[in-house]
Amino acid sequence: MLIKINPEIEQALQKKLPVVALESTIISHGMPYPQNVEMAMECERIIRSEGAIPATIAVINGILTIGLTKAEIEILAKEGHSVHKTSRRDLPYVVQTKRNGALTVSGTMIAASLAGIRFFATGGIGGVHRGAEVTMDISADLEELAMTDVMVVCAGAKAILDLEKTLEYLETKGVPVLGYQTKKLPAFYTRESDYNVDFQMDTPGEIAEFYSVKHQLGLKGGVLVCNPIPESHSIEKAWMDKVINEALDDMIKLGIKGKDTTPYLLGRIVEKTKGVSLEANIALVYNNCRLAAQIALAYAQRS
């Protein structure tokens, strides 16, 4: 058995009830213990409170598991960075070697699609890294959005990235970028960046209708919904830019590259902001879970 679907989720999908996928890299690599467990459980609670069913996804002992138990979430949370960070490239290896794997955005999209889950809430997507014209460091998340039919609700691309190039890449791949009640691309920790989304949508119902029309037209690939961080937790842009640039300088001096860059930078930013960025990260994830559940419910009601 390569894939295991939680019975509650399997029944919900059969009945065409709203289900929202949740990634697991944010548990193992995105936050320290025990905040990561508290965050994961609260995400599930919020989704249920909005009338949808949560499905946290990871590889557990080599089995792609759709809908983790609390005990399985605890395992990922405590093992932290020793859990294999798993994207499309890594999935066969992690399953073959019967490891525990925390799924990235791209990995979660694949798993959700295999299970028939159309909606996915996360913090921020990966994208084109700063200096990618030299390093060619571009997240697999972008290519997955071009290929896999899952709607990803996020707070924009992570602010450590080159946002302009990330949007250009998505445009080239034909991925629609929707702004929830905004024309500006959110920048993760802050509500706005200097760049525009493709289309502003003001209600979950509008977004659900957009997704339905896309399916009726037979267009492949995903949709990116960008939901600004709540104003109460938005961080002042100039200060955040300074912190990010300092963290990037530290990373370059240490020679950190590849898939280790994002966990390092997010951790370093937490240190430099004395935990303020972690609080913001948690708040935006909850916000995205709520919106994803509302969209999934609106879509189910259209079916």
pLDDT of residue 136: 86
pLDDT of residue 133: 82
Query: Is 158 a residue of the active site?
Result: yes
Q: What are the structural domains, with CATH classification, of the chain?
A: 3-302 (3.40.1790.10)
Q: What is the pLDDT of residues 215-247, one digit of tens each?
A: 999 999 999 999 999 999 999 989 988 998 898
pLDDT of residue 282: 94
Active-site choice (23, 44, 74, 144): 23
Q: What is the pLDDT of residues 254-295, one digit of tens each?
A: 988 877 887 788 788 889 999 899 899 999 999 999 999 999
With b for 16 or more beta-carbon neighbours within 10 A and e for fewer, the 235-248 pattern comes to: bebeebeebbeebb
Q: What is the pLDDT of residues 189-207, one digit of tens each?
A: 999 999 999 999 999 999 9
d(CA 236, CA 234): 7
Q: What is the pLDDT of residues 8-56, one digit of tens each?
A: 999 999 999 999 999 999 999 988 899 999 999 999 999 999 999 999 9
Query: Is 23 a residue of the active site?
Result: yes
User: What one-character DSSP code corresponds to residue 303?
Assistant: -
Residues 6 or more apart whose CB falls under 8 angstroms from that of 71 comprise none
Active-site choice (85, 158, 184, 259): 158
Contact assessment for residue 264 and residue 176, using Cβ atoms and an 8 Å cutoff: no
Mean pLDDT for the stretch of residues 111-124: 97
